[in-house]
Amino acid sequence: MRIAVAGATGRIGQLTIASLQDAGHQAVKISRRAGVDAYSGDGLADALRGADAIIDSTNTGSQDREQVIDFFGTVTRNLLAAEEEAGVRHHVLLSIVGLDKNGRAPHYDGKREQERLVSAGPVPWSIVRVTQFHDFAAMVAGWTQCDGVATIAPLLIQPIAQADVAAVLAEVAAGGPLNDRIDVAGPETQDLVDMARRTFAARGQDITLVPTWRGVFGPDMAGEVLLPGESARLTSGTFADWLAAGAR
């Protein structure tokens, strides 16, 4: 099959391109660094010509609510319009487990907008909701890290290996549209503060962690909000494997 990946130069996108190629598919790269801008729409029509399916793993680094919603909304509308024009029959969206249960982080508002547009859109779809990646704790601590101190919420998550995310995306894209959402998670529940401690220890970094619910993640994210549903598909890569491999 010919399968396009929007966000092809990103962390998940690169691994997804490799998974598709390993499975014998032709992978088409969509990203500004690959010469295609999904926000302005430049180059999309050419990139999608002859494609059977597309996987959207784009991302924005913005933490501004309006900007995040505008980015994910505009990119999704542009992709769906170009797919309809090109006759692409399957749109696969990478999303986040628990998205409809939790609150106020701007990123989640953008992802909800993506899911709304895709599930109401003109192209048959599959939404693959995955849990947080293994480097999530270090990323969250990095948002506030200053002079060797960082705050972090004691979230419960069931983290997943990025390579496992890519493999599932490639497999779902090559199958028929589900017109539904699926949850995909790693094998074990973890506490985010403990994950951050172990990550920094593995990286040889001395960071003091201050647990709090007063940052980006508030008490609305406590409990089992971010854990997968009982019917979730579980993958095999563990957090301990990732630490042992260098925590990068």
Ligand X SMILES: NC(=O)c1ccc[n+]([C@@H]2O[C@H](COP(=O)([O-])OP(=O)(O)OC[C@H]3O[C@@H](n4cnc5c(N)ncnc54)[C@H](OP(=O)(O)O)[C@@H]3O)[C@@H](O)[C@H]2O)c1
Can you give the C-alpha Rg of the chain in angstroms? 18
Cα–Cα dist 136/188, whole Å: 15
Binding of ligand X by 49 (CB under 6 A)? no
Report the nearest approach of ligand X to the CB of residue 162 (Å).
Answer: 8
- Pairing outcome for strands 190-191 and 156-157: antiparallel
What is the SS3 assignment for 6? strand
Residue-wise over 23-34: b if at least 16 C-beta within 10 A, else e?
A: eebebbbbbeeb
Q: Which stretch binds ligand X (CB under 6 A): 26-34, 210-218, 219-227, 228-236?
A: 26-34
Binding of ligand X by 59 (CB under 6 A)? yes
Task: Pick one of 51, 79, 96, 196: the residue that binds ligand X (CB under 6 A).
Answer: 96
Nearer to ligand X among residue 11 and residue 112 (C-beta): 11
AA letter at 32: R
For ligand X (CB under 6 A), the number of binding residues is: 25
Which among 117, 119, 97, 96 has a CA at the least distance from the CA of 179?
Answer: 119
Binding of ligand X by 93 (CB under 6 A)? no
Residue 194 near residue 201, CB atoms below 8 Å: no
Binding of ligand X by 7 (CB under 6 A)? yes
Nearer to ligand X among residue 24 and residue 94 (C-beta): 94
Report the nearest approach of ligand X to the CB of residue 71 (Å).
Answer: 7
Binding of ligand X by 242 (CB under 6 A)? no
Residues that bind ligand X (CB under 6 A): 6-13, 30-33, 37-39, 57-59, 94, 96, 111, 130, 132-133, 136
